Amino acid sequence: MKVKLSTAVKAALKKGKPVVALESTIIAHGMPYPQNLEMARKVEQIIMDEGAVPATIAIIDGELRAGLSAQELEGFAKNGPSIMKVSTRDIPYVVARNITGATTVATTMRLADMAGISVFATGGMGGVHRGAERTFDISADLSEFAQSNVAVVTAGAKAILDLALTLEVLETLGVPVVGYGTDEFPAFYSRSSGHKVPMRLDTPKDVAKLMRAKWLLGLKGGVVVANPIPAQAEILAEEIEPVILRALNAAKRTNITGKDTTPYLLKAISDATQGRSLSANIALVENNARLAAAIAIAYSQ
């Protein structure tokens, strides 16, 4: 089965022009309406302004898609809570049942790789959840990094996660974690996490060279491009951490588990910060889109 490409994405890939994949879960489940629609439109426009082609990825009526129409984008934004969140394990079920689904980071990586798209911009990647030694709650995003040949521009892993264990798992899976202009792994809302990155690169051209070297060597899998949130949008770790802990405790009390955890926590944190965390989330997604477009352009050359 192939991924159905929009006219613009198909033409760009055919001509070897830069394309940037985008996920649909961040629209359907990561932000409330109408901010999610405004963000989705803005991010696509940023990528076009930078000289690349955006390819928002989703599954619509069981059809794998890369590149959505304005109407389809609006549908994901408006109907988000009723749309299934699709991880890689869910793809066969969603396709067989002709279901519409929003793709997670893992699923977006898989479909981007199938479509021949090498660069993907997201907000924050998944990882090892806090308390995973008891729950074994580890995002499929990590295992997908060992499978799909896609560079993912991300503001680090989501701050609700165990960042140290996330980095350990990525090392075990042989995934390059590149700090873009930083020696420290960013913590989503915060530029600093206290955890060093194993490698640093400072230009899109250098990231593109690493991508090409990895795949020419036959080393399968993705690359984490850890791009810190802009300084003006940052929420310092010491400020956001108590809010995260309260949200985690609330999720535990109400038995929120599995794929429902992240959307619940993001909403709880946004409510507790009176929308500051949502503004930070939007700022870092836009920042990642600019960098992803620049990397895609360098890689296409």
**How far is the C-alpha of 178 from the C-alpha of 77, rounded, in Å?**
31
Predicted local confidence at residue 129, as pLDDT:
87
Active site amino acids: 23, 158
Kindly indicate the confidence band of residue 257, based on its pLDDT and cuts at 50, 70 and 90: confident
pLDDT for the residue numbered 282: 96
Lowest mean pLDDT among 163-177, 212-226, 261-275: 261-275
CATH number of 4-238+274-300: 3.40.1790.10
From residue 121, alpha-carbon distances to 4, 15, 46, 54, 81 in Å are: 20, 21, 12, 10, 22
| Predicted pLDDT at 13 | 98
> How confident is the model over 157-163, as a mean pLDDT?
88
Q: State the pLDDT at residue 262.
A: 75
Instruction: Reply yes or no on whether the pLDDT at 222 is more than 80.
Output: yes
5 close to 15: Cβ distance less than 8 angstroms: no
Measured CA to CA, the distance from residue 285 to residue 299 in angstroms comes to 21
Q: Which residues face 85 on adjacent strands?
A: 102
> What residue segments make up the domains of the chain, in order of their start?
4-238+274-300
143 phi and psi, to 5 degrees? -65, -30
Residue-by-residue DSSP string for 187-254 = BTTBS--S-B-SEEE-SHHHHHHHHHHHHHTT--S-EEEE-PPPGGG---HHHHHHHHHHHHHHHHHT
pLDDT in tens, 21-77: 999 999 999 899 999 999 999 999 999 999 999 999 999 999 999 999 999 999 999
Task: Write down the pLDDT at residue 263.
Answer: 77
> What pLDDT score does 158 carry?
83
pLDDT reported for residue 54: 98
- Length of the chain equals 301
In the predicted model, is pLDDT for residue 231 greater than 80?
yes
| 243-263 average pLDDT score | 83
pLDDT at 38: 98
Higher-confidence position of 51 and 266: 51
Average pLDDT, the chain: 95
User: What is the pTM (predicted TM-score) of this model?
Assistant: 0.94
Sole residue written with tokens 């929003």 = 102
